[in-house]
Structure 1
Amino acid sequence: MTAAVTLSDLRRSFGPVAALDGLTWSAPSGRITAVLGPNGAGKTTAIECAVGLGRPDSGTVRVLGSEPWQAGADHRARVGVMLQAGGLPNGTKPLRLLHHLARLYAEPVEVDAVARRLGVTDFASTTVRRLSGGQKQRLALAAALLGRPEVLFLDEPAAGLDPHGRLDVWDLVAEQRDAGTTVIVTTHSFEEAERLADHLVIMDAGRTVAEGTPGSVTGGRSLEDVYFSLTRRGAA
Structure 2
Amino acid sequence: MILEVIATNVKDAIDAEKFGANRLELVTGMMEGGLTPSYSTIKHVVQNVSIPVHVMIRPQSKSFIYDKYDEAVILKDIEICKELGAAGVVFGALNTDNTINEDLLVKVIQKVEGMNITFHRAIDESNDIVNSLNTLLKYPEVTHILTSGGKDSAIEGQGTINEMIKLAKNTELKIVAGSGLSIENVSNFIDSTFVEEIHFGSGVRKNHSSIEEIDENLMRNLINIIKNS
Please tell me the TM-score bracket, short chain as reference.
Answer: 0.3 to 0.5
Q: With structure 2 as the length reference, what TM-score do the two structures score?
A: 0.42
Q: With structure 1 as the length reference, what TM-score do the two structures score?
A: 0.41
Structure ranking higher in strand proportion? 1
Identify the structure with bigger relative contact order (alpha carbons < 8 Å, sequence gap 6+): 1
